[in-house]
Amino acid sequence: MNAKVMEANLESGLSAADSNTDDFFAAVAEKSDGTVLRGDYSKIDDQYVVKQDWDAYTPEQHALWRRLYQRQAKLIPGRACDVFIESLEALNIGDGIPRFEESSALLFKATGWTLVAVPGLVPDHIFFGHLANRRFPVTVWLRDPEEFDYIVEPDVFHDFFGHVPLLFNPIFADHLQDYGKGALKAMKLGGLGMLARLYWYTVEFGLIQSPEGLRVYGAGILSSGGEIEHCLTSPASLRLPFDVERVMRTLYKIDSYQETYFVINDFQQLFDDTAPDFTPIYERLKALEPLPANTLLPGETNLSLK
C-alpha cells in the first residue's frame, strides 16, 4: 500500500499548480489532512538538494530499513523484472540505509545518472529539472516503524529501493530523462495531468512482459508489501496492453491497489511510444473525458493470467 498516497502528492493534486516555490509551500500548507510536509526544508539549495547526513541515521532506523528490505527481497524473485533483481544485488543495500554517494557512483558508471538527496517532495519544475539532467531525487528520511505498511509521502525506502535499480537499465534511464524534459514542456501546454498519469502507470505501477511471464518494473509496486503479489495474480484488476493515449486518459487510484495495470513488451516500447511530440495528443485528449480506473472499453481485452 505504501506508494499509493505518497506518490499521489507528487504526481497530482498537491503539486499540479506549483510552478514556483511559493505556490509549492502554499499547496503544502493546505494538505487536506492538515499536516505539513515532514522533511526539513531549512537547508536546501536552489535545486532543493541537501546533504544526506548518513551519520545521523540511528541504529533503529538502519534496522527498520533491513526489515523493509528483507520483506521485499523475499517477494522479488519471479515477480520483479530482471534489471531490478540484478541491479539490487549489485547495489548491495540490504544491511542498512545506503550512502547515496556510493550508489550514485555505481549508477553513474552504468548509465550516467546520479542521485541527489532531497528533504521530501519538491515542486514539479524542480523535480522534472533533475530528471531532465539525469539526476534522481531521493528523499533522505525513513518512515517510522508504525508506517511499515503504509506511508503518505515517499520516503527513502520507496525512492531508493523502488526507483534506483531501474535506472541501471540504459533504455529506461534515457526514457526517464526524456520524461523530465517532456514534463517541463507539458507544463506550458496544459499537459501535465496527462503526463502524471503516464508516470503513474509506468514508472510507479508498470508491468512488463518477460519470456517467463508478467513482471513488475513500477517502483510503487516494488516497494509495496502487498501490491507486488496482487498486481500479478488478482482477477480483481485489469491488465491492458500499454498504449500512450489510453494511459494518459485513465484516472488512477491513490488509496487502494490499482484497478488497471498497463503492460509493456519491453523498455524499448516505452521509449519509442513516448518519443513522438505529444503536443497534438494533449490537444486531442483535452476534449475527451478521462476514463475511470476500472474501465474496459469495447474491443479491449484483459490480458490473461497464466
Binding test (CB under 6 A) with ligand PHE, winner from 33, 55, 277, 289:
277
Q: How many binding residues for ligand PHE (CB under 6 A)?
A: 12
3-state secondary structure of 132: helix
Beta strands at 238-241 and 260-264: parallel, antiparallel or unpaired: parallel
229 carries an active-site annotation: no
Looking at residue 136, the DSSP 8-state letter turns out to be E
Query: For residues 128 and 157, which CB has a smaller minimum distance to ligand PHE in the complex?
Result: 128
Residue 250 phi, psi (nearest 5): -100, 120
As separate numbers, helices (DSSP H) first and strands (DSSP E) second, the chain gives 15, 6
Q: Which stretch binds Co ion (CB under 5 A): 7-15, 65-73, 209-217, 253-261?
A: 7-15
Q: Which stretch binds ligand PHE (CB under 6 A): 100-108, 162-170, 229-237, 276-284?
A: 276-284
Binding test (CB under 6 A) with ligand PHE, winner from 130, 185, 197, 239:
185
Question: Of ligand PHE, Co ion, none, which one sits near residue 135, judging by CB under 5 to 8 A according to partner kind?
Answer: none
Query: For residues 194 and 196, which CB has a smaller minimum distance to Co ion in the complex?
Result: 196
223 carries an active-site annotation: yes
Residue 98 C-beta: closest distance to Co ion, Å: 16
Question: Of ligand PHE, Co ion, none, which one sits near residue 206, judging by CB under 5 to 8 A according to partner kind?
Answer: none
**CA distance linking residue 271 with residue 283, whole number of Å:** 21
Q: How many binding residues for Co ion (CB under 5 A)?
A: 2
Residue 49 C-beta: closest distance to ligand PHE, Å: 24
**CA distance linking residue 22 with residue 96, whole number of Å:** 35
> Rounded to the nearest 5 degrees, what angle is found at the Cα of 63, between the Cα atoms of 152 and 40?
45
Structural contact between residues 134 and 75, judged by C-beta atoms closer than 8 angstroms = no
Binding test (CB under 5 A) with Co ion, winner from 64, 107, 166, 219:
219
From the candidates 153, 158, 175, 224, which is the catalytic residue?
Answer: 158
Question: Of Co ion, ligand PHE, none, which one sits near residue 219, judging by CB under 5 to 8 A according to partner kind?
Answer: Co ion
Amino acid, res. 262: F
Query: For residues 65 and 278, which CB has a smaller minimum distance to ligand PHE in the complex?
Result: 278
- Determine which helix (DSSP H) or strand (DSSP E) holds 187, and give its type and residue range: helix 170-189
62 carries an active-site annotation: no
Cell of 27: 499547496
Smallest CA-to-CA distance from 199 within 232, 172, 226, 223 is with 172
Structural contact between residues 24 and 123, judged by C-beta atoms closer than 8 angstroms = yes
Residue 152 C-beta: closest distance to Co ion, Å: 13
Considering the rule CB under 6 A, would residue 305 count as an interface residue with ligand PHE? Answer: no
Question: Of Co ion, ligand PHE, none, which one sits near residue 37, judging by CB under 5 to 8 A according to partner kind?
Answer: none
> Rounded to the nearest 5 degrees, what angle is found at the Cα of 65, between the Cα atoms of 63 and 69?
120
Give the contacts of 82 (CB within 8 A, at least 6 positions apart).
210, 215
Residue 218 C-beta: closest distance to Co ion, Å: 9
The interface with ligand PHE within residues 164-183 (CB under 6 A) comprises 175, 178-179, 182
Query: For residues 178 and 259, which CB has a smaller minimum distance to ligand PHE in the complex?
Result: 178
163 carries an active-site annotation: yes
Edge-first strand order for the sheet with 238-241 is 213-216, 207-210, 260-264, 238-241
Structural contact between residues 226 and 257, judged by C-beta atoms closer than 8 angstroms = yes
Q: Which residues bind Co ion (CB under 5 A)?
A: 7, 219
Q: Which residues bind ligand PHE (CB under 6 A)?
A: 175, 178-179, 182, 185, 195, 198, 274-278
> Residues with catalytic annotation?
158, 163, 204, 223
